[in-house]
Amino acid sequence: MIAVYPGSFDPITNGHLDLIARGSRLFTRLIVAVLENAIKEAPLFSVVERLEMLREVASPFPNVEVDSFHGLLVDYAVKRQAGVLLRGIRAISDYEYELQMALMNSRLSPGVETVFLMSSEAYSFLSSRLVKQVVSLGGNVSGLVPPVVEKRLKSLVARSV
């Protein structure tokens, strides 16, 4: 079974990495797919930078592939012959949004299922947006993001000072 775990991953957090690790155990192949989305706020990292970081942190998982896509997620999933979309749920507010997306995706492509994994308790509060806010205010994100991401975040902060 092939699954796609989509997201902006701007930046990748330890919560994302936890889902990648868990998803890699559940599926034959897990494709971590960076959404090239012009609608969201200006990204902190380019798609190329996010792909580089994801490839580095996902390297311990031999059945995980990193890729990017634009357009409809279900079209990408069908193109990659994936039958499952993997999504993480941290809180009730995530569930409401993810349910709407899952139902729309099911309508667009009935053969693609959405599977929700609950966030590990340690990361239930964590989001890329929160990491960006903490970093922009000079806070410490050690333990919230993989070391390679923390290094790049510190480099960004140093350049902006």
Which of 29, 55, 90, 154 is catalytic? The answer is: 90
DSSP 8-state code for residue 127: -
Q: What angle do CA 109, 79, 20 make, to 5 degrees?
A: 90
Give the count of beta carbons closer than 10 Å to the beta carbon of residue 55. 14
CA 18 to CA 20: how far, in whole Å?
5
What percentage of the chain carries pLDDT values higher than 90?
84
Q: Given this model, what pLDDT does residue 143 score? A: 94
Sorting pLDDT into bands at 50, 70 and 90, what band is 18? very high
Q: Is 128 one of the catalytic residues?
A: yes
Q: Which of 44-48, 60-64, 131-135: highest mean pLDDT?
A: 60-64
Q: For the chain, which residues make up each domain, given as ranges?
A: 2-160
| Mean pLDDT across the chain | 93
Query: Alpha carbon 51 to chain centroid distance?
Result: 11
Which of 8, 16, 87, 119 is catalytic? The answer is: 16
Q: Given this model, what pLDDT does residue 117 score? A: 96
- The sheet carrying 84-89 orders its strands as 64-69, 29-35, 2-7, 84-89, 113-118
> Is 87 in contact with 3 (CB distance < 8 Å)?
no
Q: Given this model, what pLDDT does residue 155 score? A: 85
97-111 pLDDT, tens digit per residue, is 999 999 999 999 999
Q: Is 151 one of the catalytic residues?
A: no
Domain 2-160 falls under CATH 3.40.50.620: yes
pTM greater than the 0.85 cutoff: yes
Q: Show the tokens assigned to 139.
A: 């806070």
Q: Show the tokens assigned to 4.
A: 């796609």
Whether the upstream peptide bond of residue 110 has omega within 30° of 0, thus cis, is: no
Q: Is 90 one of the catalytic residues?
A: yes
Residue keyed to tokens 């693609």:
112
Residues 28-48 have a mean pLDDT of 87
Which of 50, 128, 132, 152 is catalytic? The answer is: 128
